[in-house]
Chains A and B, each alone.
Chain A
């Protein structure tokens, strides 16, 4: 598998992480109305969960795999 093209799951992680970054930047630089703040926080929470879910999935693969099988 080529390492140049991210897998769909990896792309999802990147998107979620970018959402988190955008929300953080907007909250840092802009005073947003309360209802907008609520919407942004909900969006950021979903993105954070997606990131953590992906990390856990990779970790599960890492823990579950072993170098014992030989096949061609």
Chain B
């Protein structure tokens, strides 16, 4: 027999009274007949035949509940799988874990709610398996697929006994949540923004966001310290929580702040670092706020969250995901070394080219100077020749009788001799003297006049 509220009109099998819709009745699943509320409360023969014991004219509450329990066990003889959200979670000293399971609608309204418990004998197995498989503890707010057996206790009412929890379902739920966040970021045009930032070709300043005392910090720090001591790269560690209810918000705020500071003090990369330990908190980082902060960050963000096997949402949106902190530090170190080698080779090339150029320039200046020198020698030689010729002319003129002197004297002498032979002695003397006077005048003029 099963207690229910009628959804269709019927007829009581005991008193034959028509039963309207909405009346509480006992329903026989096998015979599909019902007992009306009046017959149940009167404890008639039909009720007694259903297994309840009457106490005078009343049906004892325990009898009713036991009847209901029987009906319940008949209806659900073995545990069934149920999808529900964990609304409340209370481990007890007795070993039980009390749960409150619920089903919520699209608007978050509770459609159904029931108490449940994990018995002590199953507690360790269920909780450990769930944590190992999903990487997080069973907690409030998770949607789980659980195998439950309904239990109706006359004293404590209806509850469910949890026999098992399917971890793969919860993982699937996270995958769905992650997919939704990725779709939202994609629709906003942010999804690949950080991933497509140019990868740093060198590192001189890196910000590290990691929990204090994180195991991965030691792995990362070993190499980082060497780089820092060598003056090659500085690392700015900022402690930030990766677990707890405010982890995503804190982390998002820290990334935003570093992004703003980058405008004033440029960073080459931001490393989100969380190495080793349980993967418990990683799923909590599947959060839109932190994913968005990474996407919009102007600095390339590296993730080193300590779990290579499973890619988290943050790995998907980051500029680069390294899996482990030591891999991230190795990348930074090898990039710096590689860059230094490149710089060394470039310097050698530059030195060689510059030296050759300087030699060429010196040769060019020397060649030009040689030309100037050669032309100058030629000019000096020309001037020397001209001076020599002038000197030679002057010397020659000093050694011989100039034509201006000889010709007048000679002409005067010839004319004078002719006149002398013809007996004209006076004219002959005049001719001699005229020749002499003309010769003297010519010589005086040649020498530049009287001094």
Contact = CB atoms under 8 A, between A and B. Distances in A.
A67 B346 CA distance: 9
A58 interface: yes
Nearest to A36: B379
Contact of A32 (B355, B362, B368, B379): B379
A44 B369 contact: yes
Contact residues of A: prevailing secondary structure: helix
Contacts, number: 65
Interface in A39-72: 40-41, 44, 48, 51-52, 55, 58-59, 62, 66-67, 70, 72
Interface residues of A, number: 25
A20 B351 CA distance: 28
Contacts of A24: 368, 371-372, 375
Interface in B333-370: 343-344, 346-347, 351, 354-355, 358, 361-362, 364-365, 368-369
Contact of A44 (B231, B372, B380): B372
Contacts of B37: none
Contacts of B382: 31
Contacts of A48: 365, 368-369
Contacts of A32: 379
Contacts of A59: 355, 358
B205 interface: yes
Given A37-B380, A62-B355, A67-B343, A27 B372 contact: yes
Given A20-B369, A24-B375, A32-B379, 15 more contacts: A20-B365, A27-B372, A27-B376, A34-B383, A37-B376, A37-B380, A40-B376, A55-B358, A55-B362, A58-B358, A59-B355, A62-B351, A62-B355, A70-B204, A72-B266
Which 6 residue pairs spanning A and B have beta carbons closest together? Answer: A27-B375, A67-B347, A51-B365, A24-B371, A20-B368, A24-B372
11 contacts: A20-B365, A34-B380, A37-B379, A37-B380, A41-B376, A44-B369, A55-B358, A55-B361, A55-B362, A58-B358, A62-B354
Interface of A: 17, 20-21, 23-24, 27-28, 31-32, 34, 37, 40-41, 44, 48, 51-52, 55, 58-59, 62, 66-67, 70, 72
